[in-house]
Amino acid sequence: MSVQRTIEAHELHSEILGEERTVKVYLPPGYDPQVAYPVLYCHDGLEFFTHGRVATLVQELIVEQAVRPVLIVGIAVHLKERNNDYAMNGSRHEKYCQFVIEECIPFIEDHYSVRPEERSMAGISLGAVATLSLVLQNPGFFRHLMLFSGAYFPYVQESLRMVADLSAYRAYMVVGSDEWKAETPGGTFDFLTYNRQMRDLLLERGMDVDYREEPGNHVWGFWQRLLPNGLRWWQGVSEQ
């Protein structure tokens, strides 16, 4: 028997960015404000709900008791400013990260019952880079990272080489075996090699990395297919 999904939307005014941002929140069946839940924050957040179907997928897993009840927060992207917001060298990257930490997350934690010690973050492509950057800038703020087909350009890798110890973190990394020639709005890139290089950098710094190369390319159909495994990994559940 299907259970109705609960998704709430909010318009946040960001003083830091000087704009409005939509934030969508998935609530598990039987959400109880007296119970504290793990929470996953997603960049490209509305696409995680529409193209990734994250609310439908996590709902199925919860109803099947395959994972614990959790909250999923999708932070909408500003499409015209995506590169500037998400890329480590983007002109608005510092402000975007400040918005997430100082405005978005406090709003969620004021309005919903979540466990701060179980904050996690997910991103695809440049969103995976934003996820890594937020972790590096805010030690101990997030524990688990879900990184799909990260755009780990050489300058991103150089930033990681400056970090000595990442043993406090866990990452689920996925890249498509066809992404050696991935086409993006910014050009064609060898994301397969970049992800292998980033995997090695993270492992060398002590991060617990679950790395997967699966058939697929740099598209939402691929990431959607791998999301259930990522959600199980996040909750420490073996794949079925």
Contact yes or no for 67/58 (Cβ under 8 A)? yes
DSSP 35: S
pLDDT attached to residue 240: 42
CATH of 6-234, one of 3.40.50.920, 3.40.1380.10, 3.40.50.150, 3.40.50.1820: 3.40.50.1820
Q: How confident is the model at residue 2 (pLDDT cuts 50, 70, 90)?
A: low
Q: Phi, psi (5° rounding) for residue 49?
A: -80, -40
For residue 237, pLDDT beyond 70: no
Q: Check: pTM over 0.85? Answer yes or no.
A: yes
Packing angle of the helix pair 220-234, 54-63 (nearest 10 deg)? 40
Q: Please compute the mean of the pLDDT values over residues 34-42 and round it to a whole number.
A: 97
pLDDT attached to residue 236: 81
pLDDT attached to residue 140: 85
Stronger pLDDT, 12 or 182, i.e. the higher one:
12
| Model confidence pLDDT, tens digit, residues 101-132 | 999 999 999 999 999 999 999 999 999 999 99
- What's the token pair of residue 175? 């890249």
| Model confidence pLDDT, tens digit, residues 160-212 | 999 989 999 999 999 999 999 988 888 999 999 999 999 999 999 999 999 99
- Please name every residue paired with 187 in a beta bridge, in sequence order, or none if there are none: 184
- What's the token pair of residue 86? 């998400």
